[in-house]
Structure 1
Amino acid sequence: MAGVKPHFIVFANEKGGTGKSTTAVHSAVALAAAGRRVAAIDLDTRQRTLGRYLDNRAASIERLGTPLPMPTYETFDPAKGETLHDQIERLAAGAEVMVVDTPGRDDPHAREAMLRADTLVTPINDSFVDLDLIGEVDAETYRIRRPSFYAELVWSSRTQKAKTTGASVDWVVLRNRLQYVEAKNMRRVGTALDELSRRVGFRVIPGLGERVIYRELFPKGLTLLDLGHLGKVGLSHIAARQELREMIAGFGLPDEARDAPPLKAAAAG
């Protein structure tokens, strides 16, 4: 509806290789499949993974002659002369959810997008290398010594938004690729995350596993909700689709229950 502000989900992480863009694309498509009006913007002008993924999806829709759940999307390019603020405002008009995929580096446009976040999603791999992004860990005890620069940046963004709009930000740390981590290390990372979450104020939810299927889906722009177009489907596809459903539920978006039945129907593929 016109004049209604969409719910902004901003995927942000200053480290690459965490599955951020894959998660953002699947989230945007899953929410569109649930009957929501979704807009998406890719702020990584150089790599534009989300933009290229959805370009491939649009090409598959045309080739197959079959409608698939699809968000409205664009890639931000400052060389085109439109400010990020204006492009977001234009894309967000009429949308219920706005998905923003930011670059895997410190970037002024990513910082600008973070100030709009209602839900801020930071995907990390289940390792101390990735955990170091949000908190420094003691080498002997594996306890958190202090929050990192990125955690302080998020805190500053949340504080600034609260002062200017009075709204809070739900910071969600997404633990991706859990099953490929050695059990003891996984427990240590989990303990450190729990400790840091209490100090800094984020929620931890499970994300998507490391599966070959995600690399296979990219050229056609398909997702785990499009099983009917994937050919031979195995148990790993079904398990991955369930991970996606649980991740979307974990975001706890407003009126999520309203959209649960359409998501199930669309995902049945």
Structure 2
Amino acid sequence: MAAPHFIVFANEKGGTGKSTTAVHAAVGLAAAGRRVGALDLDTRQRTLGRYLDNRAASMRRLGAELPMPMFETFDPAKDDNLEGTLDRLGADAEIVVVDTPGRDDPYARAAMLRADTLVTPINDSFVDLDLIGEVDPETYKIRRPSFYAELVWNSRTQRAKTTGASVDWVVLRNRLQHIEAKNMRRVGQALDELSRRVGFRIIPGLGERVIYRELFPKGLTLLDLGQLGEVGLSHIAARQELREMIAGFGLPDEGESAPAPRAAAAG
């Protein structure tokens, strides 16, 4: 079997929808017929692990078979062999989704070195953009890449030297529809400029919808419309949003190699 494709969701700033995006991506890929493993590296919050625990409980309660990835929560107090855990999940999966903590963490940095696709969700604001690029307050142009962009640069460089493999860095713009139009344009222009400098792709992520939070206790997703009862147009729109996000990752089909990512430029 071909080596698994690792998708690592990483952002050192909390509140960006990272874990919600990761769990929906894992379930969405499973629903598309992919063999998916999922690993939660956030031992404290454990959002992805708890979400999938809730999903497993709903399947037992409802007597329903739902798309479900294999999943584990990493606990270094019990076993700090992250490489072994990733290898174990990858042995039975073609895609492994890794959710990292919203803080600087040595295991998150190690996971980034395994990433074939690195996904950084950000809310569409200059507060979140500051994580990856410093913006001039007068012109709104990028002054320089920030610490996180440098961290990703170093990880990509180290991976290329060690394995010869490259990393496709994807920045997700979450909660787009609730941003004032002028601010959205400014953030978009700054992101476009930064993407050319440090080499990432930009795709739309998930909107600000209450439904994502409401589904957590049952572990359900927008792909489980048969279990949701009354379904409105907002559910349908959110499901399409999720499908478009997953398509935007540009993952290889089973047995194919990953598409070539955009080359990063120093500085």
Q: Same fold (TM over 0.5)?
A: yes
The equivalent of 1:128 in structure 2 is: 126
Distance in structure 2 (CA, Å) of the matches to 1:88 and 1:158? 18
Deviations 1:117-172 (A, max 9, x none): 00000000000000000000000000000000000000000011111111110000
Distance in structure 2 (CA, Å) of the matches to 1:142 and 1:74? 42
Letter in 2 for 1:34: A
SS of equivalent residue, structure 1 residue 123: strand
Deviations 1:14-52 (A, max 9, x none): 000000000000000010011111000000000000000
1:94 to partner: Cα distance? 1.9
The equivalent of 1:99 in structure 2 is: 97
SS of equivalent residue, structure 1 residue 184: helix
Distance in structure 1 (CA, Å) of the matches to 2:169 and 2:188? 17
1:81 to partner: Cα distance? 2.5
- Displaced runs of 4+ in structure 1, greater than 4 A? none
1:88 to partner: Cα distance? 1.2
The equivalent of 1:246 in structure 2 is: 244
Letter in 2 for 1:122: T
Letter in 2 for 1:199: R
The equivalent of 1:188 in structure 2 is: 186
Distance in structure 1 (CA, Å) of the matches to 2:197 and 2:156? 15
Q: What runs of 5+ residues in structure 1 fail to find an aligned partner?
A: 259-269
SS of equivalent residue, structure 2 residue 119: strand
Pairing of 1:63-78 with structure 2 (within 5 A): 63-78=61-76
SS of equivalent residue, structure 1 residue 36: coil
Pairing of 1:12-91 with structure 2 (within 5 A): 12-91=10-89
Q: State, as a whole percentage, how many aligned pairs show the same letter.
A: 85
SS of equivalent residue, structure 1 residue 44: coil
The equivalent of 1:219 in structure 2 is: 217
Letter in 2 for 1:172: V
Q: What runs of 5+ residues in structure 2 fail to find an aligned partner?
A: 257-267
SS of equivalent residue, structure 2 residue 7: strand
Distance in structure 2 (CA, Å) of the matches to 1:85 and 1:91? 10
Distance in structure 2 (CA, Å) of the matches to 1:199 and 1:84? 32
1:89 to partner: Cα distance? 1.1
The equivalent of 1:154 in structure 2 is: 152
Distance in structure 2 (CA, Å) of the matches to 1:207 and 1:22? 11
Letter in 1 for 2:210: V
Distance in structure 1 (CA, Å) of the matches to 2:164 and 2:79? 31
1:90 to partner: Cα distance? 1.1
Letter in 1 for 2:137: A
Distance in structure 1 (CA, Å) of the matches to 2:82 and 2:43? 12
1:82 to partner: Cα distance? 4.3
SS of equivalent residue, structure 2 residue 43: coil
Deviations 1:76-105 (A, max 9, x none): 001112411111111111210000000000
Distance in structure 2 (CA, Å) of the matches to 1:90 and 1:141? 49
Distance in structure 2 (CA, Å) of the matches to 1:100 and 1:222? 19
Letter in 1 for 2:222: L
SS of equivalent residue, structure 2 residue 77: helix
**Aligned-residue RMSD, C-alpha:** 1.0
Distance in structure 2 (CA, Å) of the matches to 1:177 and 1:254? 27
The equivalent of 2:205 in structure 1 is: 207
Which residue among 136, 157, 171 is the counterpart of 1:138? Answer: 136
